[in-house]
Structure 1
Amino acid sequence: MEIEVKDKSGALTGKKVNLPESVFGVEPNDHAIYLDVKQYLAQQRQGTHKSKERAEIAGSTKKIKKQKGTGTARAGSIKSPVFRGGGRVFGPRPRNYDFKLNKKLKKVARRSALSYKASDSSISVLENFSMDNPKTKDFASLIKGLELEGKKTLFVLGENNKNVFLSSRNIQKANVTTVDSLNTYDIVNADNLIVFEDSIEKLSNI
C-alpha cells in the first residue's frame, strides 16, 4: 500500500512510502480486537474497591433481644446485614481484573486495528522532524496544518522523543506514543493515525 508523505505544515513532500501489507492489509479479526481492548481496559482498573462485611463492622456482639416471644424474627447481632449500619452481604473486595492473552493474539489484534485504519484512509505519514524545545504552540500549529483540530489523533514515533511528548500534553484529543508502546486500544480509539516516517520499518515487526 503506497501513501504520500506530508511535512509538518500538511503539504505533500513528493515522497511516497510503502505500508507493509502484512500489517496494514490483513483480514481484520474483530474478536481479537475485542479481547485486546477488553484486557487493556481491565488493566486500567485499580481494583481497590472494598466494603465492610459483618465480621469487620464495629459493634456489640450481644444478643439484641430474646430469641422467642417478640413476634418478630429472631436476631443475634446488631452487625447483621438486615439492620441499618450492619455489614454488607457479598460486598466488593480488592481484586486484580487483569487476564492473560497470548502474544500472537495481541499481534493479530494490533494488525487488524491498523488494517481498519488503512482501509478507512485514516492513516497519514509525516516527514521526520525534531523539536529543539518543548513548545505546545508549535505542536498546535502542526495539528492545524494537518487539519486535525478537534479530532482524536494518535502520533506514532519511531523512538521516544521527549520534546514532542511534552509539547502535546496540554492539547486535548492528541496522543503521542512510540511503536514499542503502541496498543490496540489507542489505535481503535483514535480518529486519525499520524505515523512518522522513521517508524514505518519498525511497524512491519509490530
Structure 2
Amino acid sequence: MEAVVVNTAGKETGKKVRLNDQIFGIEPNDHAIYLDVKQYLANQRQGTHKSKERAEIARTTKKLKRQKGTGGARAGSMKSPLFVGGGRVFGPRPRDYSFKLNKKLKRLACLSALTYKAKGKSVTILENFNFDKPKTKQYADILKNLQLENKKALVVLPQHDHNIYLSARNLQSNKVVTAGELNTYDVLNAQHLVLVEGSVPALETRFLS
C-alpha cells in the first residue's frame, strides 16, 4: 500500500511512502481491540471512591425503642442502613481497576486499529517539519491546510519534539504522540491519523523488529 506525502501547505510533494501491509493491512481482531480499549479506560480510573459503612459513621448506638410490643421491627442502633443517615450496605471501597494483557494481544489490537484507519482512508502522510519556537497559530494553520481543523486529529511524530507538543497543547480536538507512545485507544478515538513521514519507519521498527 502506497500513500502520497503532503507538505504543511496541504499540497502533494510528489513523494510516496509505502505503508507495510503487516501494520496497515492485517486481518483486524475486534475482540483484541475491545480488550485493549477496556484496559486503557480501566487504567484511567483513580479508584478512590468510598462511602461510609455502619462501622465508620458517628451515630448513637442507644436502643431506640423497646424490643417488643411496638408493632414494628426491632431496632438497636441509628447506624443501621435502614435509617436515613445510616451506614451504607456494601458501599464502594478504594480499589485498583487495572488488569494485565499480554504484549502480543496489545500489539494485535494496535495493528487492527491502524488497519481500520487505513481501510477508511483516514491516514495522511505529512512531510517532516519542525518549529523554531512554540506557535499554536502556525500549527493550527497546518491542520487547516490538511482540512482537519474541525476533526479529531492524532499526529504521530518519529520522536518527541517539545516545540510541536507545546504548539498543539491548547487545541482540544488534536493530540500529538510519538510512534513509541501510539496506542489503540488514541488511534480509534481520532477521526483522522496524521503520520509525520519519519514516524512510518519508526512504527515498522516498533512493530516488526
TM-score normalized with structure 2 length = 0.97
Residue in 2 aligned with 1:125?
A: 125
Q: Following TM superposition, by how much is the alpha carbon of 1:70 offset from its aligned partner in structure 2, in angstroms?
A: 1.2
Partners in 2 of 1:118 and 1:171 — Cα distance?
A: 24
Residue in 2 aligned with 1:21?
A: 21
Partners in 2 of 1:21 and 1:133 — Cα distance?
A: 36
Say which SS state the counterpart of residue 59 (structure 1) adopts: coil
| Deviation sequence 1:30-75 (CA, Å, 0-9, x none) | 0000000000011111111110000001012222211111111000
Say which SS state the counterpart of residue 171 (structure 2) adopts: coil
> Which amino acid letter does the alignment assign opposite residue 143 of structure 2?
I
Note if 1:174 corresponds to 2:174. Answer: yes
> Which amino acid letter does the alignment assign opposite residue 87 of structure 2?
G
Say which SS state the counterpart of residue 198 (structure 2) adopts: helix
Q: Following TM superposition, by how much is the alpha carbon of 1:146 offset from its aligned partner in structure 2, in angstroms?
A: 0.4
Note if 1:71 corresponds to 2:71. Answer: yes
Partners in 1 of 2:63 and 2:158 — Cα distance?
A: 69
Note if 1:196 corresponds to 2:196. Answer: yes
Say which SS state the counterpart of residue 89 (structure 2) adopts: coil
Note if 1:35 corresponds to 2:35. Answer: yes
Residue in 1 aligned with 2:50?
A: 50
Where in structure 2 are the equivalents of 1:62-141 lying within 5 Å? 62-141=62-141
Say which SS state the counterpart of residue 86 (structure 1) adopts: coil
Say which SS state the counterpart of residue 51 (structure 1) adopts: coil
TM-score normalized with structure 1 length = 0.98
Q: Following TM superposition, by how much is the alpha carbon of 1:116 offset from its aligned partner in structure 2, in angstroms?
A: 0.4
| Deviation sequence 1:123-178 (CA, Å, 0-9, x none) | 01110011010010001100011011110000000000111011011112111001
Partners in 1 of 2:61 and 2:179 — Cα distance?
A: 60
Partners in 1 of 2:66 and 2:55 — Cα distance?
A: 22
Say which SS state the counterpart of residue 193 (structure 2) adopts: strand
Say which SS state the counterpart of residue 67 (structure 2) adopts: coil
Q: Following TM superposition, by how much is the alpha carbon of 1:106 offset from its aligned partner in structure 2, in angstroms?
A: 0.1
Partners in 2 of 1:94 and 1:81 — Cα distance?
A: 20
Partners in 1 of 2:196 and 2:123 — Cα distance?
A: 11
Residue in 1 aligned with 2:148?
A: 148
Identity %: 62
Runs of 4+ in structure 1 over 2 Å off: none
Partners in 2 of 1:32 and 1:147 — Cα distance?
A: 31
Say which SS state the counterpart of residue 112 (structure 1) adopts: helix
Q: Following TM superposition, by how much is the alpha carbon of 1:191 offset from its aligned partner in structure 2, in angstroms?
A: 0.6
Q: Following TM superposition, by how much is the alpha carbon of 1:16 offset from its aligned partner in structure 2, in angstroms?
A: 0.5
Unaligned 5+ segments in structure 2 are none
Partners in 2 of 1:63 and 1:55 — Cα distance?
A: 16
